[in-house]
Chain A
Amino acid sequence: MRHLLSTADLGRDQALTILDTAEDMASVSGREVKKLPTLRGRTVVNLFFEDSTRTRISFEVAAKRLSADVINFSAKGSSVSKGESLKDTAQTLQAMGADGVVIRHPASGAPHTLAHAGWIDAGVVNAGDGTHEHPTQALLDAFTIRRRLHGAAGRGRDLDGVSVTIVGDILHSRVARSNVWLLHLLGARVRLVAPATLLPVGIGDWPVEAGYDLDAAVAEGPDVLMMLRVQAERMHDAFFPGEREYSREWGLTDERLARLPATTMVMHPGPMNRGLEISAAAADSPASTVLDQVANGVSVRMSALYHLLAGEE
């Protein structure tokens, strides 16, 4: 594997290998010496053109636990704010000898361009591009689901027959797109629930069932209920009448939480809008995997960096 740009590029065996290696990485995080010498002498650049806390820190921790040198680069306070192009930034990184580039960019396809334009030799990891993909988030979600269901015995297993319902702003969600491809690849049944205005055009080609009614989806008692963040920064149109109506129709309220089976896990990629798409009680309930997702994010990103950067050039 040279780059990780989209979960649609992954084969089933590749995806399972990343998840299985993440199990080994998770055991490192539980030790006193949380460090492996694997990427010693390699340089990983975190290239963030969009705000992020958890993803950037997660990648930084992951790279450091593998002993790589990490350089953080954010568009604010860099030459990008003086108008430097992606190409010039990339060539600068190339000249400095970056081995891996983790990129987040507001434009869909920017990581693809960076990987294939011939500007750099580094392996490229997509850490979220526009409304396109966020592959490591999907991998950590799949890893979290597998760990909750099977514990340590999950190694080598896929998600055959697991029912996953993804709720909310599908239209703008790169998390939803990456999850749809990956969960389908691993054998899960994916259902999307959203206001009609927030379901993308062309969803008929996706391997999913789509609906508008969250109460009906809750009544089915899915194994996983994944709530998406309402992305206020991308809501440039009137997609729904108001926050209260959104919360009432498509939010995971205390009352809907009570109707879910005790075995259903509640996921959220973060950051959460408490009281909007998820109630505080749901976010903090034992069913919630929010903090597991953060911890597992480090393991999965260590695994991805290992598979991208450790092998021969």
Chain B
Amino acid sequence: MTRIVLQSADIGRALTRISHEILESNKGPDGLVLLGIPTRGATLARRIGALLSGIAGAAVPVGSLDVTMHRDDLHRNPTRAPQPTEIPAEGIDGRVVVLVDDVLFSGRSIRAALDALQDLGRPAAVRLAVLVDRGHRELPIRPDFVGKNLPSSREERVNVRLSEVDGGEDEVTIA
């Protein structure tokens, strides 16, 4: 049975709130870099980037960070094609990097992202923003900004649809 958890308007409100929280905790837009984890994390990072410039009146660099090559389960799955990594021209050294992903589950993608970041430079701090936190962490990783906490069982599947990637309406469902 599929249940809708967030509708398009809910997702918009959650991203707006996350944007305000990011600005609040960083005391403004200075030194921020948003890096989304492909595919949908990168899309969410671009949306949050647009919201931040609207709120703070200054452009925040947005990029994407592919973690495929750093995953710890590569040998357990068929080979997957990596997605592009695009680091903004400003780089990440000494900046506050906000990682953006759609669903936080085991935490293993974020661990891989932290490793990938290490090869790219030395940020002043790394924060984590996710649209949905569904629990079941397998590593000591905690998000700083959460769109929705969604208690789930391990067997359930959380599905995020975004119009830029999937077409149609934005939607988060659980099945």
Contacts and interface: CB of A to CB of B under 8 A. Distances in A.
A35 B69 CA distance: 10
A37 B70 contact: yes
Interface string A88-127: 0000000000000000000000000000000000000000
A32 B120 CA distance: 7
A84 interface: no
A38 B74 contact: yes
A264 interface: no
B25 interface: no
Interface stretch (B45-53, B78-86, B123-131, B148-156): B78-86
Interface stretch (A23-31, A184-192, A242-250): A23-31
Interface stretch (A44-52, A171-179, A290-298, A304-312): A304-312
Contacts of B82: 21, 24
B79 A311 contact: yes
Contacts of A311: 74-75, 77-80
Interface in B146-167: none
Contacts of B77: 311-312
Given A23-B84, A24-B82, A38-B69, A313 B75 contact: yes
A125 to B, nearest CB: 15
Interface string B76-104: 11111111110000000000000000000
B162 to A, nearest CB: 20
A310 B85 contact: no
B74 A36 contact: no
A33 B76 CA distance: 26
**Chain A CB within 10 A, most for which of B75, B115, B121:** B75
A20 interface: yes
A312 B78 contact: yes
B76 A24 contact: no
Contacts of A307: 79
Contacts of B81: 17, 20-21
A311 B76 CA distance: 7
A157 to B, nearest CB: 14
Nearest to A33: B119
B70 A36 contact: yes
A1 B74 contact: no
B119 A35 contact: yes
Interface string A276-291: 0000000000000000
A31 B119 contact: yes
B66 interface: yes
A155 interface: yes
Nearest to A302: B69
**Chain A CB within 10 A, most for which of B82, B115, B120:** B82
A262 B49 CA distance: 42
Interface of A: 1, 17, 20-21, 23-24, 27, 31-33, 35-38, 155, 306-307, 310-313
Interface of B: 66, 69-70, 74-85, 115, 119-121
Given A21-B81, A24-B69, A310-B74, 5 more contacts: A20-B81, A36-B119, A307-B79, A311-B77, A311-B79
14 contacts: A17-B81, A20-B81, A27-B84, A31-B119, A36-B69, A36-B70, A37-B115, A155-B84, A306-B79, A307-B79, A311-B74, A311-B78, A311-B79, A312-B78
